[in-house]
Amino acid sequence: MSLKSIAKAELLIHLWWLKNNRPLLVLWFLWPYLTALFILALGTAYGRIEEFRETMGIASPILYIFVGSAVVFASASIVDIATGIALWHRWIGTLTYIYLVPVRFNTYLVLSGVVGGLFMIVQNFAAIVPAIIILEGLSGGLRLLAVLGVMILGMVPLIGVAVVAAILTIAARVETNVVSFINPLLLLVSGIFYPVEILPRILRVLSDIVPVTYIVESAKLIATYAYPPGSTIVYIAAILATMALVYNSWSALIVSRSERYIRRRGTI
């Protein structure tokens, strides 16, 4: 069994699942628009769009809200897939069989997260392309590609964190879906719809080590500049690449030890 065959199987699972759930596919494409409309309606009911522009330091609030909505759902989906796949296999009784395949379990988790994460990123960003083109024209579409690239880079450290959460969940025999805690925390400290500066100090420190924060910063850039500063984009990419190296090295160590513990204790 090769890594390529596992990745292909994971992609086919997503495609066939969507084929058999077409109404949900439509809802997924509408979801960023529904979120953006809700944020705009709530904001205009209790404040002014100009105030949001000044507070967030952006030039195009509507563009930013659309891109921010896509970032929210793409980030949540990455963590959900990479963490939830282990629980899903435990719940349906196939976890033992997954452990018996030639490919190591942590490799399977990473591949599932990468394939599923890429699938959800492309889907969420494809959904908002019409809105971006209408608002900003072709240049807006090209700027969106820059955020897409940053989002894909930011997916790598996110998967490292999610895989650790998944393997620790199995080792501890926890049946609760830990994603219900991780995703709200990530979105809270990333400052997608409010400035990070208003958070308590401990959450601001946490914000600096969360990949989603830097993806949000790239979204702010395309909502402010017709031509975002290349040096800033490179700086954000360098931070995410460093996070990917550090988080995944740490993740590999924890997962390796946890996997030995699981096999020794039989906690699957």
Give the tens place of pLDDT for each residue, 229-240.
Answer: 777 888 888 888
DSSP category for residue 267: -
State the pLDDT at residue 49: 77
pTM: 0.77
DSSP category for residue 15: H
49-102 per-position pLDDT tens digit:
777 777 777 777 778 888 888 887 788 777 777 777 777 777 787 877 777 777
- 123 phi/psi in degrees, rounded to 5: -65, -45
* Three-class DSSP labels, 165-230: HHHHHHHCCCCCCCHHHHHHHHHHHHCCCCCHHHCCHHHHHHHCCCHHHHHHHHHHHHCCCCCCCH
pLDDT at 178 over 70: no
Contact 161, 251 (CB under 8 A): yes
Q: Which domain holds residue 242?
A: 3-265
Q: Which of the four pLDDT bands, split at 50, 70 and 90, describes residue 150? A: confident
Which of 199, 180, 225 has its CA nearest to residue 57? 225
Count of structural domains, the chain: 1
Q: Which of the four pLDDT bands, split at 50, 70 and 90, describes residue 1? A: low
More confident residue, 213 or 140: 213
Contact 133, 79 (CB under 8 A): no
pLDDT over 90 percentage in the chain = 0
* 30-39, 49-58, 221-230: least confident range: 221-230
Which of 165, 170, 207 has its CA nearest to residue 185? 207
pLDDT at 267 over 80: no
Contact 45, 107 (CB under 8 A): no
Amino acid found at 153: L
Angle at 80 between CA 74 and CA 84, to 5 degrees: 160
State the pLDDT at residue 21: 78
Contact 41, 121 (CB under 8 A): no
pLDDT at 268 over 80: no
DSSP category for residue 266: T
